[in-house]
Amino acid sequence: MCGVFGIHGHDEAANIAYLGMHALQHRGQESAGLVAVEGNKLRQQVAMGLVSDAFNRDALAKLPGTSAIGHIRYSTAGTSELRNAQPFVFEYSGGAISIAHNGNLVNATELRAELEASGSIFQTSSDTEVIVHLMAKAREPDVLGKLNAALKRVRGAYSLCLLTNDEKMIGVRDPNGFRPLVIGRLKDSYVLSSETCSFDLIEAEFIREIEPGEIVIFEKGGMTSHRIAAPAEPPTFCVFEHVYFARPDSLVNSKSVYRARERMGQKLAQEAPIDGDVVIPVPDSGVPAAIGYSKESGIPFEMGLIRSHYVGRTFIEPQDSIRHFGVRLKLSPVRSIVDGKRVIVVDDSLVRGTTSRKIVKMLRGAGAREVHLRISAPPTTHPCFYGINTPTRSELVAASHSVEEIGRYVTCDSLAYLSHEGMMTAVGTSPNGAGFCSACFTGDYPVALGTSDLVQLRRARV
């Protein structure tokens, strides 16, 4: 769970990157960083917290130059501290290079041990640093060769944005294409972003996605395309980007996230109908699915829960104590909408079940006569090792409990999930889900896991 952004060949590179990162804030709130290049020199500014807290006019003024890359972080590998905030900057025999990474490498632990045994000294606990050490050791003469050699050794999910001190910007997607990465154009400059919503903000034109297994280099003469490997057959784009993670105004995998979520809600209404007086979403992420459910069922849609916009995504806070407290801080019921009503609540996913349990309690407290919970994705039974922050398998309520048991735990009158086939049809692929990773719902991991992940899975008490 991270966002990357890059701009090449623009007089106000750092300012534009700041805006582009702003639009990616939903992808992580732990740290934000920018690196800009001017006259062969890479300058870096990183800070903990939100983009708007991390950068002010003075900080941006310290980043002159015509190309810049940025990163928004939520830790999925490595601890939450400033030294792990990206983009990283490293000096090596090829010059200086900066790297921003979205995704998670599954063989980083093994590679790191190997690199350390041969003398590498790591500065961070992040999996991303492994790529740079592998590049430094590669014998190939140029940056493309070094990058290619490094990426041939890593396994897992990576959408990367790199910037060299001779002003090459590089975008990369792993052969499976787990995480999104798109190319846009802003007048004479090229832009890269995790999601198209950044392009809308800076008024850039969307050109295309970086393909799975593709390396795209942007330099003075224009843009060139190269390959790490052929795309996986089929690629496995993360379906959870559509379910929850991406912003609804983005196109991911060339499809509208909003429309995919709305269709998930429609399918859910077909698969799990229930009599009710009102359909309400768990805002914000449940809104499009609830609209779909309401349209399909003919039951009116209302905003029965109001979200405070002054707290971040509560789930995203790494500390459990804050997260528990967070639900009340974040959501409050509208009594005039739910009082005396049979309420159908639509949320996009149920992970530990703690959010839903609190919501059901809150709605009953506000007078709801019945509370029916509808989840617009299948039960989350497995953790993600490819870059979405999910708890361990033991903490996933659906790993060890049936739908009926979960319903009892969250104390709702009925609970139903969207089927896997329903979700896949909604995102526009075949019912078996070709082209997508849905390991969090199936346990079918498309890229072999590393030893530490397998140990974690085996240890799960489910």
Token digits of residue 157: 């999910």
Active-site pick, 2, 238, 384, 437: 2
Can you give the length of the chain in residues?
A: 462
Q: Is 197 known to be catalytic?
A: no
CB of 280 to ligand AMP, least distance (A): 13
Taking CB under 6 A as the binding criterion, the range among 128-136, 194-202, 250-258, 350-358 that sits at the site for ligand AMP is 350-358
Q: Which of 16, 97, 147, 350 binds ligand AMP (CB under 6 A)?
A: 350
Beta strands 255-256; 251-252: pairing state:
antiparallel
Q: In this structure, are residues 73 and 30 in contact, taking their beta carbons and an 8 Å threshold?
A: yes
Where in 315-334 is the site for ligand AMP (CB under 6 A)? Answer: 315-316
Q: What is the closest distance, in whole angstroms, from the C-beta atom of residue 37 to ligand AMP in the complex?
A: 33
CA proximity to 68, closest of 136, 203, 204, 161: 161
Q: Which is nearer to ligand AMP, 3 or 353 (CB)?
A: 353
Q: Which is nearer to ligand AMP, 195 or 348 (CB)?
A: 348
Angle, in degrees to the nearest 10, between helices 451-459 and 108-117: 130
Half-sphere exposure of 177 (CA within 13 A, CB side): 25
Query: At 128, is the secondary structure helix, strand, or coil?
Result: helix
30 binds ligand AMP (CB under 6 A): no
Q: How far is CA 291 from the centre of its chain?
A: 23
Pairing of strands 205-209, 182-186: antiparallel
Residues binding ligand AMP: number (CB under 6 A): 19
Q: Which of residues 228-287 bind ligand AMP (CB under 6 A)?
A: 244, 282, 285
Nearer to ligand AMP, 74 or 90 (CB): 74
Q: Does 164 bind ligand AMP (CB under 6 A)?
A: no
Return the closest-CA partner of residue 359 out of 397, 377, 333: 333
Q: Give the amino acid at 172.
A: V
Q: Which stretch binds ligand AMP (CB under 6 A): 21-29, 107-115, 118-126, 386-394?
A: 386-394
Rounded CA separation 139/231 (Å): 25
DSSP label of 159? E
Among 98, 164, 389, 438, binds ligand AMP (CB under 6 A): 389
What is the rounded distance in angstroms from the CA atom of residue 169 to the CA atom of residue 156? 22
Choices 48-56, 64-72, 81-89, 311-319 (CB under 6 A): range interacting with ligand AMP: 311-319
Residue 357 beta carbon to ligand AMP: minimum distance, rounded to whole angstroms: 8
Q: List active site positions.
A: 2
Chain contacts with ligand AMP (rule: CB under 6 A): 244, 282, 285, 313, 315-316, 347-356, 388-390
